[in-house]
A and B are shown apart, each in its own frame.
Chain A
Amino acid sequence: MNQPLIDLVNISKSFDGELILDDLNLSVKENSFVTLLGPSGCGKTTTLRIIGGFVSPDQGRVIFGGEDITRMPPNKRQLNTVFQKYALFTHMNIAENIAFGLKIKGKSKDYIRDKIKYALKLVNLDGFENRSVDSLSGGQQQRIAIARAIVNEPRLLLLDEPLGALDLKLRQDMQYELIRLKNELGITFIYVTHDQEEALTMSDTIVVMNQGYIQQMGTPEQIYNEPENAFVADFIGESNIVDGIMLRDELVEIFGARFACVDKGFGQRTPVDVVIRPEDIDLVKPDDGTLTGVVTHLIFKGVHYEMEVTTDGGFEWLVHSTDMFPVGQEVGIHVDPFDIQIMNKPASEDEEAVGVNE
């Protein structure tokens, strides 16, 4: 269960002289749900295509189950892909689409028929065998694309933003569906998305990428609660990123006010980035707060109120709270020590892209 199924070793790739991936190393364990998350152009889709065999890396190796498959064509690889916008064969009906891979492998008619039935049941589309692709909705087409891939019993399923074209409600349903499928089939999933909520919902492991580098790799909780740099903090959820000075262990100064925190080992009087999630800020009476400010913006968001609190230096704090404070009210800002995340400042812009773990 914990053997690495796929290893990317020192992968580099450029397109038209532009570096997309730079010396990327990634190891994916058998039976895990790994999400490559990042903004467009971060190299996540290229990484997936290299694993699928549609793009060959300029440098580096792809190891699959202990075997070097870097130069192996996609049709020989023991993995399948669910493509963006489904890529179904419109000149075939649903059964023929699902049977495509099995027919090539020379499976018997009975076997294929049973497999089609099983796969359609799995994606909740029983009886769709003779339907045409065009008669299906986007969500249904997506399920067929998944069925078409999984009937081949791949060891690894690659999913390239498969839910991108669906509306919000359907997307959420499909997220649960994918988790269920993953658990029922016991296949390793590598999932590419730019949607952080999707990543947090489904993954065992999230790999946050930017500009061809892995920024941080970890469980959804780690990524959300302990972002390693400002990029990850900013990309995953909303956050307040402010300049601070680490006075000593467990004490940080922000805008002249001293906050207790839990981080150690930054030295004394070290400039740092401080990340505080909007829901971790408690608004209290002005006298009880570490900082004081004035509510300058208020929006009702359903689950919570979203407020902007402007403090003396002119910084606008984003605050999520179920308590409402009207615009113009003076409030105090209080943050619990363990809700304050301290990060080293990047020395240069390059390092910001590389991230602290590289």
Chain B
Amino acid sequence: MNKKSTRILAYPYLVWMAGFTVIPLLMICYYGLTDRTGAFTLDNILAVASTEHMKALWLSLSLSLISTLICLLISYPLALILRQHHIGKSSFVVFIFILPMWMNFLLRTMAWQTLLEKNGVINSLLSVLRLPPLAIINTPAAIILGMVYNFLPFMVLPIYNVLAKIDDNVMNAARDLGADNVTTLTKILLPLSIPGIISGITMVFVPALTTFVISNLLGGSKILLIGNVIEQEFTRGSNWNLGAGLSMVLMVFILISMTLIAKYDKNGEGTAF
């Protein structure tokens, strides 16, 4: 195919990107940097400094960080096991992990709500077994649970992808040169899988940071994450300018994680999707 015709084929994508990525982004920036009358202002961005917003942002950051960490701690050993036993992508185990992703995200989170409720499935079971009830619904713990459950595959897959590409003989070479299993893991496997880890961290951290559905359903109305604040400004408060301004602040954090990806994942090895 010659250069000219490939270029023509690219136009629809350019139109798509302009229409659905660039223009919305510019609109967010416009709303974020103006007030209701359309005059330029930085108030919407500086509003993040208010106690209420700082609290929401801080809670969002800490909950998503904790969730990301838990996802990583669960995913790495799992990815290692999948690799070690050459349980490929076609395998049943990987299928089980991806299966929940085929169900609607909202539905899955609502299911957790039903499970965790005061008189929900888990507590009914616990009372039958005469065990104390689990009171984590409407707490940060429930939100973390929801985040870990929903975003776990996004951590497992990039790490597994990177690990699966490591030649068996590279590990054999380490063993051959005298390394025991622990040294092989810390000196060879971990360093080689950093691109996947970074990729996974970003893919979990970014959606966790911006989510409002999980906190709405599992955190009740009392726990406000920054995502909830933004959502409310757009829907209930109908202050689009403030919502857009806060979104821009959040984008800074996302930009940071994207920079991290670009730095560590030069070859795009960790991308799972």
Contacts and interface: CB of A to CB of B under 8 A. Distances in A.
B16 to A, nearest CB: 36
Nearest to A84: B169
A321 interface: no
Contacts of A105: 178
Interface string A77-92: 0001101110111110
Contacts of B28: none
Interface string A149-187: 100100000000000000000000000000000000000
A223 B66 CA distance: 67
Contacts of B178: 75, 101, 104-105, 152
Interface residues of A, number: 24
Interface in A85-115: 85, 87-91, 100-101, 104-105
Interface SS, A side: loop
A54 interface: yes
Contacts of A100: 174, 177, 179, 187
Interface centre among B178, B183, B187, B188 (most CB of A within 10 A): B178
B89 interface: no
Nearest to A52: B176
Interface string B62-80: 0000000000000000000
A75 B175 contact: yes
Nearest to A91: B191
B170 A89 contact: yes
A74 interface: yes
- Provide the main secondary structure of the chain B interface: helix
A154 B223 CA distance: 63
B172 interface: yes
A75 B173 contact: no
Contacts of A237: none
Contact of A90 (B174, B180, B192): B192
B177 A152 contact: yes
B176 A75 contact: yes
A73 interface: yes
B172 A74 contact: yes
A75 B167 contact: no
Most chain B CB within a 10 A radius of its CB, from A54, A84, A85 = A54
A89 B175 CA distance: 12
Given A89-B188, A90-B192, A81 B172 contact: yes
Interface string A294-307: 00000000000000
Given A90-B192, A91-B191, A91-B192, A85 B175 contact: no
A148 interface: yes
A90 B195 CA distance: 13
Interface of B: 167, 169-170, 172-180, 183, 187-188, 191-192
16 contacts: A52-B172, A53-B175, A54-B175, A74-B172, A74-B175, A75-B175, A81-B172, A81-B173, A87-B172, A88-B170, A89-B188, A100-B177, A104-B179, A148-B173, A148-B177, A149-B177
Interface of A: 52-54, 73-75, 80-81, 83-85, 87-91, 100-101, 104-105, 145, 148-149, 152
| Shortest 3 CB-CB contacts between residues of A and residues of B | A101-B177, A87-B169, A83-B169
Given A89-B192, A90-B192, A101-B177, 9 more contacts: A81-B176, A83-B173, A87-B169, A87-B173, A89-B173, A100-B179, A105-B178, A148-B173, A149-B177
